[in-house]
Amino acid sequence: MLLEYFLFGMMTFHLSGAQNEVTEVFAEAGSQAVLPCKCGPPSARIPAIIWRKDGKSTVWRKQKSGLEYWGYAWSSKTQRVRCPHTMFESGDFSLQIDNVKEEDGGVYSCRVERGVQVIEKTVTLRITRVSVSSSAPIWGSDVSITCNVTPWPLEALVRWTLNDSPFEPQNGAASNTRTAAMEKATGRLTGNWTCVVNYKGQEGRASATLSVQGVIHPPRDDAKVYAAVGSAVTLPCVFSPGLIPSDPVWEKLKPVFLTKPAPGRLPASFSASGPLSPLPSDQSASLKEVGLGDEGRYRCSGVIKGQRLTRNMQLVVAKVHSSVQSQNTGSVTLTCQLTDTGEVTNYEWVHVIYDLKGSRSVGPILEGKTLNISTMSEGNQGEWSCRFYGKDGLLGNVTYHIQQMSGVSGEKPTSVSHNTAATVGLSFLLLVMLLILAQIYKNHQRRKGIFRYPALETIVHTVSNEREERERNAVKKPTRKTSVVG
């Protein structure tokens, strides 16, 4: 009996020793919080339980009789507070709070009476929430993202992640502050923001998404757009869904080495409404046929909520330069040339082969910017494509056509593929002109055929008429003479 009491005493001492420590619980606003109150070891005695907040108001309580009461602030229609009975036998009297609010943050205490045993626990519930000044700020407007913890733990460490990677604030701001970003909204702020709070070995988290409104494609200034000379290209300028820019403007900028970019002339084949712009948020433009001189910087802009948003981009033009190495062997060097190679990491050449059915395949890949091939070889005829890659993959390609004239040594390869349309057009024109010439010649011949004899007749006719006249006169004269004589 004495031993039993002694053991019991030890146990209560141990338990009461544990009751002083405050458990920290973090819960994100809107989620479920579980406030632990574990009073091991399991016991068959019926407990009386009371959960209080901030040392005074009752949250929930249960009498030994089994009657349950909810505190005034917690007895709404949708019960947010629960203490699952099924856990009681194992000595677990944890409190569940659904859909936590910032005002739920505070110090909670649980008091369990089991026979003579009284156990008290304290739990601090801290509600985390990320607040943004605006969840859809306009590009260039001020934006701030703040980590809120209620109540705020003074010595807490705060980290930020944006789309699961650590966020490095600009302007040298410390990264462990409650406010992650207080800067002008740009595309780099778009995404899923999470603040991670560390306090006394516990970790709290909260997330919020931010979507900066403006030109989303291209996502940043000075993005490069690649096009082969002679091809068509789309200059992208897509605003966030739902944004309708007013007064959209496209400009070509003069080169940057002049101190300030000034508007230049837009190319002749420029068309402000792109091929795929049924949406007013899509202000993409297009060039029907890119020329070498079209390379350079372009700017699109539009007014959103009284503010002009702009996006600069650079058009990079690719072409193939060919130089004949040897007239005798017909070998040429093809070089892939781009007006800006800053982003290009590697080049490769492929031979594009069409089979009889017209389906396309490519030959083996030849690495390098230049290609030495013989135009005399049958197998080298057709399209050669230079593909150029950046660190994120394929940037574009440019194609060159080799046509071998049988047996003619040193025949120059014909022009770039993209001129095929023009070549076809020219050939057609030539054919039409030839036909017209042929027709004219034929008509001419026919006319000659018809009128050759009539013309002779005329001459004959005239000659005979003349002779007749002369003869008549000759007859008349003697008559007259006679009459005179007579």
Site residues for ligand NAG per CB under 6 A? 164, 192, 194, 207, 209, 325, 333, 350, 352, 362, 368, 370, 372, 385, 387, 397
Closer CB to ligand NAG, 346 or 464, in the complex = 346
Closer CB to ligand NAG, 126 or 387, in the complex = 387
For residue 390, the minimal CB distance to ligand NAG (Å) is 15
For residue 191, the minimal CB distance to ligand NAG (Å) is 8
For residue 222, the minimal CB distance to ligand NAG (Å) is 22
Closer CB to ligand NAG, 62 or 387, in the complex = 387
Closer CB to ligand NAG, 94 or 331, in the complex = 331
Closer CB to ligand NAG, 261 or 382, in the complex = 382
Rounded Cα distance, 390 and 347, in Å: 9
Closer CB to ligand NAG, 286 or 385, in the complex = 385
Question: Residue 101 CA to chain centroid, in angstroms?
Answer: 37
Closer CB to ligand NAG, 47 or 330, in the complex = 330
Phi-psi region of 247 (alpha: psi -120 to 50; beta: other; left: phi over 0): left
For residue 350, the minimal CB distance to ligand NAG (Å) is 5
For residue 340, the minimal CB distance to ligand NAG (Å) is 18
Closer CB to ligand NAG, 54 or 203, in the complex = 203
Closer CB to ligand NAG, 187 or 363, in the complex = 363
For residue 198, the minimal CB distance to ligand NAG (Å) is 15
Closer CB to ligand NAG, 299 or 418, in the complex = 418
For residue 436, the minimal CB distance to ligand NAG (Å) is 38
For residue 105, the minimal CB distance to ligand NAG (Å) is 20
Rounded Cα distance, 139 and 188, in Å: 10
For residue 141, the minimal CB distance to ligand NAG (Å) is 22
Phi and psi angles of residue 347, each rounded to the nearest 5 degrees, phi first: -125, 155
Rounded Cα distance, 181 and 186, in Å: 11
Closer CB to ligand NAG, 223 or 352, in the complex = 352
Phi and psi angles of residue 140, each rounded to the nearest 5 degrees, phi first: 90, -10
Per-residue H/E/C for the chain: CHHHHHHHHHHHHHHHHHHCCEEEEEEECCCCEEECCECCCCCCCCCEEEEEECCCEEEEEECCCCCEEECHHHCCCCCCEECCHHHHHHCECCEEECCCCHHHCEEEEEEEEECCEEEEEEEEEEEEEEEECCCCCECCCEEEEEEEEECCCCCCEEEEEECCEECCCCCCCCCCCCEEEEEECCHHHCEEEEEEEEECCEEEEEEEEECCECEEECCCCCEEEEEECCCCEEECCEECCCCCCEEEEEEEECCCCCCCCCEECCCCCEECCCCCCCCCCECCEEECCCCHHHCEEEEEEEEECCEEEEEEEEEEEEEEEEEEEECCCCEEEEEEEECCCCCCCEEEEEEEEECCCCCEEECCCEECCEEEEECCCHHHCEEEEEEEEECCEEEEEEEEEECCCCCCCCCCCCCEHHHHHHHHHHHHHHHHHHHHHHHHHHHHHHHHHHHHHHHHHHHHHHHHHHHHHHHHHHHHHHHHHHHHHC
For residue 194, the minimal CB distance to ligand NAG (Å) is 5
For residue 366, the minimal CB distance to ligand NAG (Å) is 9
